[in-house]
Amino acid sequence: MELKQAVKERRSVRGFLPKPVPKKNITTILKQAGRAPSWGNTQSWEVLIVSGDRVKKMGEAFCQKAREGTVQIPEFEMPKSFPEPYLSRYRQVGKDLFSILGIQRDDPAKRVEHSLNNFRGFGAPVFIYLLLDEGLSPYAFLDAGLFIQTLCLSAADLGLGTCILAALARYPEVIRTYLPIPKGKKILVGIALGYPDQKAPANRYRSQREPLTNWVTWI
Ligand SMILES: Cc1cc2nc3c(=O)[nH]c(=O)nc-3n(C[C@H](O)[C@H](O)[C@H](O)COP(=O)(O)O)c2cc1C
């Protein structure tokens, strides 16, 4: 696939087929993601690949926590709100998605179900966890971002879908019971990986982008 096509094709996939992803393909994606640039070539990312039953068990354990209303204490602080103009863009995604999914404002049951689906990685057969050492500079987040985007593009190149999911990192105590996270490493984010379910309504959604005039200054 051409780069520009992969950039265009990559999108957050929110509905996956239960079809397993061959290890060979995951390895290819990881090798390509590992080519991402990083400060001084430090390559400070570390990943855990989770598949099989454990994915389902973790998803259900997250849902259980969410249903119980357990306080979320992610290991890297997550945004609680946004100033404008970011807040409006953030809200737009929710509005558009709910509209495609036919979820009305006054339908709390469906809203909750969608939120729980986040915790299940939208049915993806693979979760990829990104870990970072404690105490690294914020530039390590930049490195991780470059890694993640390269990973998502490489997945798209193989016909695979991804969804970067903060939801998968909201209950680190659950993750640590299921995965051997080394001491001194912190959980940054999870990525759902799998074959997109073309019939899933959420996958019809295409997020919008601001025109260049709103964020570029030519001097
Ligand atoms: C750090 C990060 C965390 C995200 N967490 C979630 C999430 O928990 N649930 C979700 O549905 N999408 C999540 N997303 C996906 C974004 O909503 C998505 O990237 C954005 O709306 C742009 O859409 P696109 O990826 O389809 O281009 C996350 C993306 C990033 C980069």
118 lines ligand 1 (CB under 6 A): yes
Spacing, Cα 136 to ligand 1 middle (Å)? 24
pLDDT at 80: 95
Phi/psi at 4 (5° precision) = -65, -30
3-state secondary structure of 133: strand
Q: Is the CB of 203 under 6 A from ligand 1?
A: no
Cβ 116 under 6 angstroms from ligand 1: no
146 and 37 Cβ atoms separated by less than 8 Å: yes
**Whether this model's pTM surpasses 0.95:** yes
Distance 68 CA to ligand 1 centre (A): 24
179 lines ligand 1 (CB under 6 A): no
- Classify each residue of 184-208 as buried b or exposed e, where b means 16 or more C-beta atoms within 10 Å of its C-beta: eebbbbbbbbbbbbeebebbebeee
Residues 27, 29: Cα–Cα separation, whole Å: 5
Distance 207 CA to ligand 1 centre (A): 10
Spatial separation of the C-alpha atoms in residues 52 and 20, rounded to whole Å: 8
Q: Residue 58 in contact with residue 127, Cβ under 8 Å?
A: yes
- For residue 171, the one-letter residue type is Y
- Which pLDDT score is estimated for 158? 96
What confidence score (pLDDT) does residue 1 get? 78
User: Rounded to whole angstroms, how far apart are CA atoms 61 and 119?
Assistant: 9
CA distances from 11 to 103, 161, 190, 206 (A): 21, 8, 16, 7
In the chain the domains, ranked by start, together with CATH numbers, are 3-205 (3.40.109.10)
CB atoms within 10 A of CB 8: 11
Q: Which atom of ligand 1 is nearest to the CA of 189?
A: 1
In terms of Cα–Cα distance, which of 216, 25, 192 is closest to 118? 192
- In tens digits, the chain (219 residues) has pLDDT values of 799 999 999 999 999 999 999 999 999 999 999 999 999 999 999 999 999 999 999 999 999 999 999 999 999 999 999 999 999 999 999 999 999 999 998 899 999 999 999 999 999 999 999 999 999 999 999 999 999 999 999 999 999 999 999 999 999 999 999 999 999 999 999 999 999 999 999 999 999 999 999 999 999
Collapsing DSSP states into helix, strand and coil, what is residue 126?
A: strand
3-state secondary structure labels for all residues of 162-208: EEEEHHHHCCHHHHHHHCCCCCCEEEEEEEEEECECCCCHHHHCCCC
